[in-house]
Structure 1
Amino acid sequence: MTHAFRRRARNIADHAILISGSVLMCLPVYGLFAATTHAPGTPMQPRLDPGGAFVANYSAFLTSSAGFSGDITVAAMLWNSFVLGAGFASLKVAVSLLAAYTLVYFRIRGASAIFAVLLLTLMLPLESRFLPTYDVVAQLGLVNTEAGLIFPLVASGLGTLFFRQFLLTVPDAMLESARLDGAGSWKFFRDILMPLSAPTAAALFLVLFVNGWNQYLWPVMVTSEEATYTLVRGMQFFGRASLPGLMLAILAIVPPCLLVILFQRQVVKGLFDGSH
């Protein structure tokens, strides 16, 4: 009886700590959100009481023009952010999986050295490559384009590492069975490895989507036309203490947070368990 009581007390204490930490982390964001639900003219400061102007405020804000030229709306910036995040994540996952497949299943001379170089790129901050990358993008005429935003950031040493470690756990018997059935390299990759890699790919996609959604410095460098601005880039149009500025901050925070909250179990399973 005493042992069961102690175990239950420990569980209650653990849950209390987790709940308290979650509340402390979410409370500032909720305070800002509650402030944006009050009518315009209300002092913009964090508060706990929600107002009744949520629908009116956000519907008008999404369709309002932004910037100095008025060439973009908040909804368009939201779409640009989604395109950047989704394109960034999709291409990174695809390139990383193909690179890992090549390193693991093909007899390439110096494969270990190539993989070591890929890992070294993890130690270089992204900002250190901006100037030469921008020069290449400008010479290709990709400034102020979606391709210029996405393609230079596609290579990923981290994604290749995750997929390589996963592919090394795939039994060699699968490859031998596929060869006995007459499957070539592409068929083996498409029909066997891709389905097996789906949990890892989905988890990595979500992490990379959030990373792409939050990109700021690279969009600042490669976009100068307001029609190409993302939500994060568009924050310069509004004051930090104004109602539009707070609503834009909420719109930039909520989508990636919701994705992580809704799919956190799949993220953990995909990154650490794969299909085991």
Structure 2
Amino acid sequence: MARFRFLDHVILILGAALMISPVAIAFLTSTHEAVEIHRNGLMATWGDNFLDTYGTVLTKEGGFTGQITGMRMMLNSMILGIGFAVGKIVLSMLAAYAIVYFRFRMGTFFFWVIFTTLLLPLEVRIVPSYEVVQKLGLLNSYTGLIIPLLASATGTFYFRQFFKSVPDELLEAARIDGAGPFKFFIDILVPISKPMIAAIFIIMFVYGWNQYLWPMMMTTDEQYFTLVRGIKQILLVWVGAQIPDYNEAFALAILAMLPPVLVVVVFQRWFIKGLTESDK
């Protein structure tokens, strides 16, 4: 048994190294100068340009207007990620609560209608969504970036399954104590849903943070550019003898990875508990 356990650990370590190695190479490459990267390709050694590169991408104003910084793009990504996560959780919980506890006619039918929207990815509905946002005058705004995508079939499905596993005795006890629907939701369901909320928060935060196509369609003002779009903007620069700032692009890529990784690490225990626990 000890031999098989050792083999399991070796396989896990090799798998982790395989997953981490591209990130490590990207980080090491970002510490070199752009000319050196252009000439020699990816680097596996530490360079001398670490402080200059990361200081530049975070604080130097650039872009077409010369006013956007990496800190601003990181803030925009953070607003998008948190806005998506919080908004989707609130709407999903309310929708699942209505479907499970109000038990209105055709409630199951409406749930499956919501669930079938999973078959419609963002790319399929992005043009009509853009037209709606444009007619409402919400282009180049955080409202236009966040609100149109808040409805979540995934979140509604998970919260519905979670609420259905809550014992009916809790509902009966709340009724006996005189708790109405709102009080039952706030004082009982929300506290016991914390692991599920954490799990959905991670999923939706990463989804919002990594958005590229949607912000590109909804914004033309650089003040609303995200980190993911900033990376693409750097790599588009190729005029005459000018080469892209590869080191800055790699640095932005590393910065774009950090918040999702930190969120997953911080909420890891709740994430696993929320997706696996079914007994309340």
TM-score w.r.t. the length of structure 1 is: 0.93
Q: Shift of the alpha carbon at 1:244?
A: 1.3
* Structure 2 residue identity aligned to 1:96: S
Given the alignment, which residue of 252, 257, 268 partners 1:253? 257
Aligned to 1:26: 20
Runs of 4+ aligned residues of structure 1 deviating over 6 Å after TM superposition are none
* Structure 2 residue identity aligned to 1:231: L
Given the alignment, which residue of 5, 9, 20 partners 2:3? 9
Contact 1:144 1:225 (8 Å CA) reproduced: yes
Cα distance in 2 for partners of 1:275, 1:250 equals 39
Instruction: Say whether residues 1:38 and 2:42 are aligned partners.
Output: no
How many residues of Structure 1 are paired with residues of Structure 2 in the alignment? 270
Q: Shift of the alpha carbon at 1:51?
A: 3.1
Cα distance in 2 for partners of 1:52, 1:273 equals 48
Given the alignment, which residue of 91, 109, 120 partners 2:105? 109
Given the alignment, which residue of 189, 198, 204 partners 1:202? 198
Q: Shift of the alpha carbon at 1:42?
A: 3.4
Q: Shift of the alpha carbon at 1:251?
A: 1.4
Q: Secondary structure at the match of 1:43?
A: helix
Cα distance in 2 for partners of 1:207, 1:39 equals 35
What is the correspondence of 1:63-82 to structure 2 with a 5 Å cutoff? 63-82=59-78
Cα distance in 2 for partners of 1:215, 1:9 equals 44
Cα distance in 2 for partners of 1:128, 1:40 equals 38
Aligned to 1:90: 86
What is the correspondence of 1:1-276 to structure 2 with a 5 Å cutoff? 7-38=1-32, 41-43=35-37, 45-239=41-235, 242-273=246-277, 276=280
Q: Shift of the alpha carbon at 1:37?
A: 2.1
Q: Secondary structure at the match of 1:224?
A: coil
Q: Shift of the alpha carbon at 1:91?
A: 0.3
Gaps of 5+ in 2: 236-243
By relative contact order (CA 8 Å, sep 6+), the higher-ranking structure is 2
Cα distance in 2 for partners of 1:259, 1:87 equals 15
Contact 2:82 2:205 (8 Å CA) reproduced: yes
Contact 1:66 1:237 (8 Å CA) reproduced: no
Contact 1:122 1:157 (8 Å CA) reproduced: yes
TM-score w.r.t. the length of structure 2 is: 0.92
- Give the aligned CA root-mean-square deviation in angstroms: 1.6
Contact 1:200 1:274 (8 Å CA) reproduced: no
Cα distance in 2 for partners of 1:114, 1:104 equals 12
Q: Decide which moves more: 39-48 or 92-101.
A: 39-48
- Call closer, same or farther: CA 1:202–1:23 in 2, change over 3 Å: same
How many percent identity over aligned positions?
Answer: 47
* Structure 1 residue identity aligned to 2:17: V
Aligned to 1:4: none
Deviation string, structure 1 residues 180-217 (Cα, Å, up to 9, x no partner): 11110000000000001111011110111001000111
Gaps of 5+ in 1: 1-6
